[in-house]
Structure 1
């Protein structure tokens, strides 16, 4: 026991030699630079008092023949709590600071950057907080403060509505909407994007795209505020990611790749449940085999630059619209949206069936029915009108 007792004091006690020479240039302590620092100093003093009290308690128990080992365990528990508290900031933070989480960046890297920026106090404490809360940290630029508790930082970084400066490309979006969003986030003049698009994406798009960006943006999140970013570099980043994804999915190259993207984009826009993508593609292929026009309102709407629910009779009968698949046979001149992985896979391996028609009979649930004859089509069309009396 004496050895343990001496070890305890060797570890936790500090002795001062009163005869040791003191420096002659002692200065009075500098006043705190802020109220925040004053509060921090008061907290440190309270913690020191707690440590001294704990040591004193151990001494009393040992001298009095008490349960030394129990006291030592209690002390270690107190010390653990003290150390945990000292590895995290408290309060609401100090000055504002911008912080960036990069796409694909791990928790460890984020934690180190937060410590370097003096936002959190300890990288391990931050990582533990992320793990304890099962949080997902989203890429983006965030407005934070220095000296924040880890839990406050995790709460902000796991809320993607707080992120700025990162472009999110979603499946089903049109390229024009993606570019408009990129303009807003990057601050780059839209005329620069228009110039790249007008040039047919030279040096960016593969030959099979035919100079059109539609369908060639990969869904995901992209940093569009990095230093040196241009309209051309943003568009190239989106296209390069798409080409890499198509290669990874083993989508055939050349003209067949463009056709697959076109069919996938129609499926993405026509139905809102992935389980139907393969059936929509089968309808497209069956109609082409039967020398029938596709008759897809979504393609007509794309060519008229409106959404499908804004179509008019005049638009539906406009033969000058090259995307009017009610009149023009075959696939449209290009994809009509950004298809996601599920739609692309369905276009590569569509299910078997003899369907020539389909109708989304319930707009609330997305339920869609597929049939092979005109009589069956009339029935599901009537079902649609009955279930959706206010629809066009």
Structure 2
């Protein structure tokens, strides 16, 4: 290749001359061999020119990429410096109450914070929230004007700091929901009890099939408390209406079947700690009902006794006067025993196929649950439970 390049540049010497003076025409080739050599030389020159052009374009492109990256890095660094500059030093001045409403996005919150002069820049606040993967919870928070954006974000992302919101957790009893709402928002519990314990007042909020009982009819979710003086009635209405809407969406039959579905779903959710077993537990309940067997569910006994399952005593398990004692009394309990979530309701509507009559959570650490069709199989599962959980015996 070096000889070819030498020929290439030697052939160019014939084109050089004094400026403005046309060169003499090249001499005609002396043979066919010479003609072939000149044609090959021209091809090589064109190839070399193409290679040089391609290499040049690659160099330019690569340079452009690095230049773009450098510009982006500079911009990010510059934005970071600007963000630092667009922030208060903290810790703040005058005390203010700030409320995040249900459904508000990060930028809505950020703009409201800036308008209230709590943070200096909405962009700085939003950037900190996004870069740290924080979740902002609804509620009312105690803040100050002129706070550092990071400090504000930490307060608003800790649900324990929030006031002014009410939460219903799936699988929770109504009494637990009310206790937490009243504690978190300084509401007199008797205002809720005046509605919950009064059948006439309850009937104004609940559908007829609930028979005046709120258990099972509060839809899990987060609600804004607002005015604490009107909160009890307003919140209960909102929670019940949300529940009815959800049951309609899940296509739960209306009337008595709707209450029955909630009762079964609440037992399903209370008996096992993983949704993977929900549909099988639901099938066990239906199978035992069809055979006129007692359900034998400790979760219902505990609900009627006003304790949790770990607090049950032998006397409570044998108390036939407890209408929720499904170890002794046949059929379903009078009401749901909690406010079940979507998965449990779906399982109550669509139980798995099977002939199981028993189930045992054989490993309390992992929650592993096994199912049996016969009493003999059930006794083997009980022995496995005792072997896996010696401290629980």
TM-score for the superposition, normalised by structure 1: 0.76
* Correspondences of 1:4-15 after superposition (within 5 Å): none
The answer to whether the 8 Å contact 1:185/1:225 transfers is no
Distance between the aligned counterparts of 1:391 and 1:237, measured in 2?
41
SS in 2 for 1:222: strand
Larger Cα Rg: Structure 1 or Structure 2?
2
Distance 1:355 1:99, change over 3 A: same
Q: Give the drift of 1:344.
A: 0.9
Distance 1:105 1:226, change over 3 A: farther
Q: How many residues align?
A: 320
SS in 2 for 1:328: coil
The answer to whether the 8 Å contact 2:264/2:348 transfers is yes
SS in 1 for 2:172: coil
Question: What's the counterpart of residue 192 of structure 1?
Answer: 191
Question: What's the counterpart of residue 388 of structure 1?
Answer: 389
Question: What's the counterpart of residue 139 of structure 1?
Answer: 138
The structure whose residues are more often helix, as a share, is 2
SS in 2 for 1:390: helix
* Correspondences of 1:86-165 after superposition (within 5 Å): 86-165=85-164
* Correspondences of 1:244-323 after superposition (within 5 Å): 244-323=245-324
Distance between the aligned counterparts of 2:298 and 2:382, measured in 1?
15
The answer to whether the 8 Å contact 1:89/1:120 transfers is yes
1:240 aligns with 2:249: no
The answer to whether the 8 Å contact 1:301/1:311 transfers is yes
SS in 2 for 1:213: coil
Distance between the aligned counterparts of 2:263 and 2:313, measured in 1?
24
After superposition, the C-alpha distances for 1:173-201 in whole angstroms (9 at most, x for unaligned) are: 11111122222233332222222112221
After superposition, the C-alpha distances for 1:75-94 in whole angstroms (9 at most, x for unaligned) are: 99998676444432223222
Distance 1:378 1:127, change over 3 A: same
The answer to whether the 8 Å contact 1:185/1:224 transfers is no
Distance between the aligned counterparts of 2:91 and 2:233, measured in 1?
41
Distance between the aligned counterparts of 2:315 and 2:80, measured in 1?
74
Deviates more, 1:353-362 or 1:181-190: 181-190
SS in 2 for 1:119: coil
SS in 1 for 2:391: coil
Distance 1:282 1:307, change over 3 A: same
Q: Give the drift of 1:314.
A: 1.9
Q: Give the drift of 1:384.
A: 0.8
Distance between the aligned counterparts of 2:150 and 2:226, measured in 1?
27
The answer to whether the 8 Å contact 2:163/2:185 transfers is no
SS in 2 for 1:361: strand
Q: Give the drift of 1:119.
A: 0.6
Distance between the aligned counterparts of 1:82 and 1:388, measured in 2?
58
After superposition, the C-alpha distances for 1:275-318 in whole angstroms (9 at most, x for unaligned) are: 11111100000001111111111111111111122222222222
Q: Give the drift of 1:249.
A: 1.8
Distance between the aligned counterparts of 2:165 and 2:351, measured in 1?
34
Distance between the aligned counterparts of 1:348 and 1:235, measured in 2?
25
Question: What's the counterpart of residue 375 of structure 1?
Answer: 376
SS in 1 for 2:300: helix
Q: Give the drift of 1:262.
A: 0.6
1:358 aligns with 2:359: yes
Distance 1:120 1:332, change over 3 A: same
Q: CA RMSD in A?
A: 2.3
SS in 2 for 1:359: strand
The answer to whether the 8 Å contact 2:143/2:152 transfers is yes
